[in-house]
Amino acid sequence: MNVCIIGAGYVGLVTGACFADLGHRVICADNDRKKIEALKKSRIPFYEKGLDDMVRRNIKAGRLSFVPTIKEGVKDSLVIFICVGTPSKPNGEADLSYVENVAAEIARNLTSYHLIVEKSTVPVETGKWVEHTIRTNIRKKVRFDVASNPEFLREGTAIRDFMRPDRIVIGVETKRAEDILRELYDKVNAEIVVTDIKSAELIKHASNSFLAAKISFINSVANVCERTGADITKVAHGMGLDARIGKSFLQSGIGYGGSCFPKDVDAFMYISGKLGYDFGILKAARKVNEEQRAIFVKKIEEALWIVKGKTIGILGLSFKPQTDDMRSAP
């Protein structure tokens, strides 16, 4: 199947390389010409285990290519994935200007049926606005579908997460769109959850927000353990053996970070507030996360007495192992 990935950043590049490795013909489009020229030479602008070899292999096989314009990608594809950034505004709202601009540019270049898929993490009801933008800017009377297929990639294990996911979520409004996405993922052995577009959009925000809240909860438990002499590792282990809770995300520390959790929690709270609902649990989770760093600094002050003039070693600067991503690193 011919696929166009718009946005050759982390999500776009991993998605494109993995689809190519599954046998599809993939074109990655990005308006950063320096990045495109580097990618043509298999120079990856960030570290992700196994990605260099995968990109190099699929370029050599002729299944993966890079272009600097959306027009070049659209004309030779059936499926178009929107993988551009959705950064946070100061009030927590997701900035969807990149998504809107891409949707408009796609519309201006449509000459035949295409399936346009949201891959970027976007607020609920974005699909409606993507469709509206395309209809407003389309120049020819051609049919198209919009769908949502949120990514659940973890930095450091992104290729494994794509090839062996817990689930594949697709939000569609037509049988044609569903059939195309099912065929696209045919070689991936995972349950496909088919729902409407709004539900698919919410699944991503709700999932990341829940995991962030789980991290803040176990950090709160750890703070109680320190005050009582209890062992947080034993407590977390005992909790994790309960199938209703699970072992993942029960490692206490100085809080969550990275490019996803902080942004997605803020965006979900903003969406909820706009709809008239005060998401108190997420507010508390964010507050705990912010306090964890201050608690850690206090421990250093207590251990060193006078911090000024002391040499402090830091082992690891990224927000998690196996990545070089410093965004919102605690």
**3-state secondary structure labels for all residues of 205-228:** HHHHHHHHHHHHHHHHHHHHHHHH
Can you list the alpha helix ranges (DSSP code H) found in the chain? 10-21, 33-40, 51-60, 70-75, 97-108, 126-137, 158-163, 175-184, 197-228, 232-240, 261-274, 280-304
Distance from CA of residue 247 to its chain's centroid?
A: 22
Q: 300 with 241: CB under 8 angstroms? A: no
The answer to whether 225 is a known catalytic residue is no
d(CA 109, CA 240): 51
165 Cβ neighbours under 8 A, 6+ residues apart: 152, 188, 190
Specify the 3-state DSSP secondary structure of 80: strand
Q: 51 with 91: CB under 8 angstroms? A: no
Catalytic residue among 4, 83, 225, 260: 260
Edge-to-edge order in the sheet of strand 79-82: 64-67, 25-29, 2-6, 79-82, 114-118, 144-148, 168-171, 192-195
190 Cβ neighbours under 8 A, 6+ residues apart: 164, 165, 166, 167, 168
Question: Looking only at Cα atoms, what is the longest distance across the chain?
Answer: 72
Structure tokens at 29: 């489009």
d(CA 84, CA 252): 32
H-run or E-run covering 118: strand 114-118
Q: Which residues are catalytic?
A: 260
